[in-house]
Amino acid sequence: MKNKGLPESSVLKEIESRLSEDFTYSSGRIIGSMCTFPHPLARKVYTRFLDRNLGDSGLFPAVVKLEKETISMLGALLSNPNASGHIVTGGTEANTLALWTAKKLSKKKHCNVIVPASAHYSFDKAADLLGLKIVKVGLNNRFQVNVEDVRKAVNSNTIAIVGVAGTTGLGVVDPISELSEIAAEKDLYLHVDAAFGGFVLPFLKETGFDVSDFDFSLPGVCSITIDPHKMGLVPIPAGGILYRNERLRKTVAWNVSYLAGGETEQATFVGTRSGASVVAVWVLLKHLGREGYKRIVRGCMRLTWKLARGIQKINGLNIVTEPTMNIVGIESEVFDICRIAQELRVRKWAVSLFPSHIRIVVMPHIQKQHIERFLEDLKDVVNKLGG
C-alpha cells in the first residue's frame, strides 16, 4: 500500500482490467463448477445489506428473525419446517459443524466417522481438525455407498455415519433410508450432505422424477447440509446447516458476552458472519418459490440430457452413469481422460477433473449454445487425440 491513495476512477480502471483475465459465468465456459452467477435480486439485496453482522446478533435482531424463517423454509423443503440451523459459509463449514456436533454429543474417546468413498474432501478436513478417524466405505456399481459395508464398518468407536445426496463427482444419491435404519438401530448420528442436491432433488421429485428419500422424513437423519450458493443461486458465501431440532444445534453453541449488541449465542465456526447472505437467501426463496426453482432445475436437466446424449455419440467416449441430477461424468476406455481435460482447458473450457472422469456441471448459467459448442470442441479433441 502506497502512502498516498489513488483516485477512485484510476483504481476502478485498474481493477476492471486486472479481473478481466478471470473466467466469467456469462461466457458459458465455466462448465465444471457448482457455483453460478447469482440471481440479480439476490445480488441487489446482498449489496444493500452488506453491513449486517450476525456475529453480533443483538444489533441485528431483524436479520436473526429472517435467519430463523430461512432455516424453516429450507427445513420445509427437506420435510422438517421445525429444523434448526444456520446460513454458514458453505458446505465445508456445514459438514464440519455436523461432525463437531456428533463428536460433542458422543461420550466416546477415540471416535470414528463412516463416510462413503465418494464423500467431499471437507469431511477429511473436518476429521483432521476435530481429531476424528475417517473410515471410508466403497461404492456399489451404481456409485452409491455400499450399505452392507457401512454396517460392517460400524464398531464401538463409531459416532456418526455420513450419506451424500448428490455426490460431488457424479451427483449420485446414497441409499439414505438404509443408512437411516443403521443409524437408528446402532444409535449413531447420521449426517446427510445435500450441499448440491438439496436445491435439486426436492424439485425433481415435485416434477415427477423418482427421487429416493434423503431428508428429515427419515427418522435417523440428524442434520443436513444444503448450500444456497450452489443451485440456490445466492451469492457466495451461503451454505446451510440444518439440524433436526434445536437441541442438536445448541450442542455447538457458545455464549459471547462482550459484544455491542449484548450477550449473544454463536453456533457457527466463524464469529463475524454475513447477515447479507441470510437476507439474500430469504429474499430469493420468497421470490422464486418452489415453482421458480423447479423451472430452473428442469432447464438444467434438459441440457444435461442433451449433453449426455451428445457425449454418447462421440466414438471412444461415454458417460460414467445416467445423470441423476445436472452433473455428467465423461469417461473413456480409449483415451487418457487427463489429456482430454488438458486439451479442453487449452480451448478455454473450465472442466473439472476426477481420477477417472471429467465432471461437467450444467448450472443455470449454461445455455444450449454452450453445450453445442462444448460438444463440438470435445469431438475435435477426440479427433486430434485419435489421429
Binding positions for ligand PLP, rule: CB under 6 A = 34, 90-92, 95, 120, 122, 164, 166, 168, 193, 195-196, 227, 239
Closer CB to ligand PLP, 167 or 180, in the complex: 167
* Nearest distance in Å: CB 196, ligand PLP: 5
Gyration radius (Cα) of the chain, Å: 22
* Nearest distance in Å: CB 371, ligand PLP: 21
* 300 DSSP β-pair partners: none
Q: What is the DSSP string of 314-368?
A: STT-EESS--SSSEEEEE-SSS-HHHHHHHHHHTT-B-EE-SS-EEEE--TT--H
Closer CB to ligand PLP, 59 or 276, in the complex: 276
Amino acid at 159: I
Closer CB to ligand PLP, 59 or 137, in the complex: 137
Which residues have a Cβ under 8 Å from the Cβ of 147 and sit 6 or more positions away? 175, 178, 179, 182
Closer CB to ligand PLP, 166 or 220, in the complex: 166
Closer CB to ligand PLP, 56 or 193, in the complex: 193
- φ, ψ for residue 377, nearest 5 deg: -65, -35
SS3 153: helix
The answer to whether residues 42 and 277 touch, using CB atoms and an 8 Å cutoff, is no
* Nearest distance in Å: CB 227, ligand PLP: 5
Q: Please give the grid coordinates belonging to residue 189.
A: 448420528
The answer to whether residues 171 and 297 touch, using CB atoms and an 8 Å cutoff, is no
Pairwise CA distance, residues 375 & 41, whole Å:
32
The answer to whether residues 77 and 70 touch, using CB atoms and an 8 Å cutoff, is no
* Nearest distance in Å: CB 121, ligand PLP: 8
Question: What DSSP state is assigned to residue 71?
Answer: H
* Nearest distance in Å: CB 179, ligand PLP: 15
Closer CB to ligand PLP, 34 or 188, in the complex: 34
The Cβ of residue 90 has, within 10 Å, a number of other Cβ atoms equal to 20
The answer to whether residues 296 and 233 touch, using CB atoms and an 8 Å cutoff, is yes
Give the CA angle between residues 105, 253, 285 to the nearest 5°: 105
* Nearest distance in Å: CB 34, ligand PLP: 5
* Nearest distance in Å: CB 387, ligand PLP: 36
Give the strand pairing for 327-331 and 358-361: antiparallel
Pairwise CA distance, residues 310 & 125, whole Å:
37
Closer CB to ligand PLP, 53 or 95, in the complex: 95
Closer CB to ligand PLP, 91 or 232, in the complex: 91
* Nearest distance in Å: CB 198, ligand PLP: 9
Q: Please give the grid coordinates belonging to residue 247.
A: 437441541
* Nearest distance in Å: CB 89, ligand PLP: 7
Pairwise CA distance, residues 94 & 33, whole Å:
19
Closer CB to ligand PLP, 28 or 198, in the complex: 198
Roughly how many angstroms between the first and final C-alpha of the chain, as a whole number? 53
